[in-house]
Amino acid sequence: MTDDLQLVREYFGEHPPPPPGVAAAAKARLPFGEQGSRAPWRLHRPLGGGWRPSRRALLLRAGLSATAVAGAAAVAVMVTVQAPSPVQAPAPVPASGPAGREILLTAARTVARAAQPLPGRYWVTSGTVGNFLRVGPADDPYLVLEEVGVQSWAARSPRDGSPELSQALWVRPASPGDRAAWRRGGSPTVWKGVGQDTSLAYPHGDPGNARLQPLSTAPGQLTAESAGYGSQPFLVGAKALSLRQLLALPAGPRRLKELLLKGMLHSPPGISQSAYLLQAVPLVLQMPVTPAVRSGLYRMLATMPGIRSLGVVKDVSGKPGVAVAYTGNYANCGNGVPLSPGGASRLYRVLFTSCSVQQILIIDPATGLPQAEELRYAQLPPGQKWSAPGGLFSYEIFGRSYWTNHDRPNRPNR
């Protein structure tokens, strides 16, 4: 562990430690206990054997937890701060049919025609993650929306580092009513008991993990959350793969389903196979798999029950695409008001005793690749409200995925 930490420090440079109490607060938001007790299943949210891989599902294999390296490494390169995204309510055009088969099968045909790119030194993926969080005093809480730029580097060679990076972009009240409550609360610019989220939430609404830095309205540095060295940086299901193994994956939908569901072993209660796969598949689609495997993944999703077409929609940035969705019912949903300042053994009250959540996968019709994912509350208990537009509580806008021979992280591309 000491040698690995030294490698990370040499790669990124030193970074000040988080303020007192923030590490404990961030750990408290993890739904399955301490990070150190888990195998490195997820990257952005290391949930040992966890049900959803981190964004892009790139496994940084040195065995370093985010707790060990977050705040220990930072690079000087900054993410370009984007203007706030025009978050919108969904604008679906419902399609007929029992499931979103036609959209998924059309995407399968589109990705099957794509060329396989020549490999380089690193496989890079990037994107923008947004999460709505309820913060403020218990008697006058309000919602804020945070956006974070994220980037993953998977090295082909075990001699090269594979960092997982993020950069806080901005935080703002979610609605005019939330802005008024924020002003009543003194217009804070930092929430010390709340860590910054860096990944899409779980369907039941729990963000699941936070960086060991407090939520802040100020843009942050591009920071390493985890990093590792090894020749198997790609995770499919519960198995870490080298590039050679990734390119040898079977393309049959049944075999791909078997491989992915092995990562569902430690899923939170109430997660169905359809819900799991609808979030797991886009991350594998962002890996340098073969066109045949991408096609097989879409054909596999087309067989899953409950996945329906939404037709043409706009994602939260305003870009149009075609979408499929799955709606699930869950107990104990969402993150609520902090129980005590500065981080406690359990940071949040559960917001809702139950909820119905719509998972949306938006596909770029030109490329067939994932364009965005969104999570929206479709139904809440009587008398409960969510002030974000269209029930939105978490999203990710996928950026480019590409090979590069550069040896330093650059600006993520949306």
Higher pLDDT, 65 or 393: 393
pLDDT interval class at 395 (50, 70, 90)? very high
Question: Which residue, 358, 370, 355, is CA-closest to 319?
Answer: 370
Judged by phi (left if over 0) then psi (alpha if -120 to 50, else beta), residue 75 lies in: beta
3-class DSSP state for residue 267? coil
- Most confidently modeled range among 13-22, 73-82, 268-277: 268-277
Packing angle of the helix pair 101-112, 291-301 (nearest 10 deg): 180
**What pLDDT does residue 22 have?**
44
Burial class (CB in 10 A: 0-12, 13-18, 19+), 103: buried
Residue that has been written with the tokens 């695409």 in this structure: 321
**What pLDDT does residue 182 have?**
96
196 to 26, 66, 69, 210: CA distances (angstroms): 8, 13, 16, 5
Q: What percent of the chain is predicted at pLDDT more than 90?
A: 50
3-class DSSP state for residue 290? coil
When pLDDT is averaged across residues 195-218 and rounded to a whole number, the result is 76
- Please give the full DSSP string across 7-52, using - where no structure is assigned: HHHHHH---PPPPTTHHHHHHHT-TTS-GGGS-S--SSS--TT-SS
pLDDT at 50 over 80: no
Q: Which of 198-207, 238-247, 344-353, 383-392 has the lowest mean pLDDT?
A: 344-353
- Please give the full DSSP string across 42-87, using - where no structure is assigned: -SSS--TT-SSPPGGGB--TT---HHHHTTT-B-S--PPPPPPP--
When pLDDT is averaged across residues 7-14 and rounded to a whole number, the result is 40
3-class DSSP state for residue 89? coil
Q: What six digits make up the tokens of 190?
A: 């930092």
- Report d(CA 387, CA 305) in Å as an integer: 31
**What pLDDT does residue 45 have?**
31
294 to 164, 189, 218, 363, 376: CA distances (angstroms): 23, 43, 38, 13, 26
- Most confidently modeled range among 11-25, 86-100, 114-128, 217-231: 114-128
pLDDT at 237 over 80: yes
pLDDT at 221 over 50: yes
Residue-wise pLDDT tens digits, 162-204 = 888 889 999 999 999 999 999 999 999 998 878 778 889 888 8
**What pLDDT does residue 49 have?**
27
Q: Which of 1-15, 25-39, 294-308 has the lowest mean pLDDT?
A: 25-39
pLDDT at 272 over 90: yes
Give the count of beta carbons closer than 10 Å to the beta carbon of residue 52: 27
When pLDDT is averaged across residues 374-388 and rounded to a whole number, the result is 95
Residue-averaged pLDDT of the chain: 76
3-class DSSP state for residue 257? helix
**What pLDDT does residue 66 have?**
33
Q: Is the model's pTM score more than 0.95?
A: no
The structural domains of the chain, with segments of one domain joined by +, span: 2-404
When pLDDT is averaged across residues 330-357 and rounded to a whole number, the result is 68
Higher pLDDT, 174 or 28: 174
Higher pLDDT, 288 or 212: 288
**What pLDDT does residue 211 have?**
59
When pLDDT is averaged across residues 127-141 and rounded to a whole number, the result is 91
**What pLDDT does residue 329 have?**
94
pLDDT at 293 over 80: yes
Higher pLDDT, 325 or 84: 325
